[in-house]
Chains A and B, each alone.
Chain A
Amino acid sequence: MRFAVASVSRSSLWLGDDHLLFVECAGYTETYKRFYYRDIQAFIIRKTTTRAVWNWITGSLAAVCALAVFGSWRADGLDSGMVIFFSIVFLFFAVLLALNNLSGATCACQIRTAVQTEELPSLCRLRQTRRVLDKIRPLIVAAQGQLTAEEVSARMLETIQAENPAEPPEPASPGSAPPVIS
């Protein structure tokens, strides 16, 4: 069952019986990556500003076209060719703007296993990503079990303290060296 497709990068995610299949189409070849439910460690979702960027681009172009329509209308009247042309272009950008906003907030999603962290370009909208996660989560929980937010934080602190018993855990800081490397 396919449930997410990226139009630009031509990648898609497919739900298998015991794994998640990531398909990447490059020209005339397809590359497959399998993530077994028992091996998936985490999904990392980061909200991005891509939607705002596209809003600015399509909004600006739509506004320019709207001004051109207005200008042509004032100069040549309502039935001139320029008015019709710019109206069509305006509609095109207006539809793009509406679709961009209707699709919801944008995000970047990564999947992590013990040996890799892979970007999933097909999961680029937050709402869609959550819908996909809602489908995958029960399968991963069936294969591994579940952790609550408190359990995760507690286990992370335990790991840090077990590997660095002398040093208390410091708050996260950008670019700092990992506290646990043996």
Chain B
Amino acid sequence: MSPLIQCPKCRAWLLGGVFNRPDVAPCQSCGTPLQVEVFPALFRKILPGPTAQAVLVEGESSCFFHPQKKAVVPCAGCGRFLCALCDCELNGQHFCPACLETGKSKGKIKTLENQRTRYDTIALGLAILPVLIFYLTIITAPMTLFVAIRYWNAPQSIVRRTRFRFILAIIIALLQIGGWTAFFIVIATSK
């Protein structure tokens, strides 16, 4: 990516006047008030990645994925030997591409996790939304309890770490089940 920055409105290249100022300044081209905070990373050169060296001496450790390339590091996940090309460094640890993919899909490597399902919100939604059509609660109340109990220990939101919604959903579901039980008891006893 070029170190030049475009005006977000007119896409003209910004050359000066708006960078690292305490207040907004107009774009030289369209006059849109802009404030651009620039950091040294913008001008950092992207260095080419390491290249794998070929195995020169017979018996020298070679890469699991490229047997003709020299191994430089073992994978922290599976222990396989990796060449410089297959070595993916993450927070000081070295992984092979396969372990990196597994770590991402199974949520084993926290910093690679980019999505989570909010089961507590699902449970609360199941408990609250059908109240509008009350007859549905006969089905959704047990479903709410199932979701709340089944996913009680599932990873929650990275940023909100309380089980308040689960607890609220369970209470509402129990009230609904209690209501239905009372309703059926009343019907049964009145006959």
Contact = CB atoms under 8 A, between A and B. Distances in A.
Contacts, number: 155
Interface string A101-131: 0000000101011110000000000100000
B5 interface: yes
A74 interface: no
Contacts of A160: 4
A42 B13 contact: no
Given A30-B115, A144-B41, A172-B28, A153 B34 contact: no
* Size bracket of the A interface: 35 or more
B13 A28 contact: no
B90 to A, nearest CB: 12
A33 interface: yes
A25 to B, nearest CB: 8
Interface stretch (A55-63, A64-72, A85-93, A173-181): A173-181
A155 B121 contact: no
Interface stretch (B15-23, B64-72, B166-174, B176-184): B15-23
Most chain A beta carbons < 10 A, residue from B2, B17, B30, B37: B37
Given A31-B114, A174-B30, A112 B5 contact: yes
A88 B66 CA distance: 74
Judged by DSSP, the binding face of A is mixed
Interface in B31-49: 32-44, 46
Interface of A: 2, 12, 14, 21, 23, 25, 28-34, 38-47, 108, 110, 112-115, 126, 133, 137, 140-141, 144-149, 152-153, 155-157, 159-160, 169, 171-176, 178-181
Given A30-B118, A160-B4, 16 more contacts: A31-B114, A34-B111, A45-B34, A47-B24, A108-B8, A114-B41, A114-B44, A149-B16, A152-B20, A152-B42, A156-B3, A156-B4, A159-B2, A172-B27, A174-B7, A174-B11
Interface of B: 1-5, 7-17, 19-21, 24, 27-30, 32-44, 46, 111, 113-119, 121-122, 125, 157-159
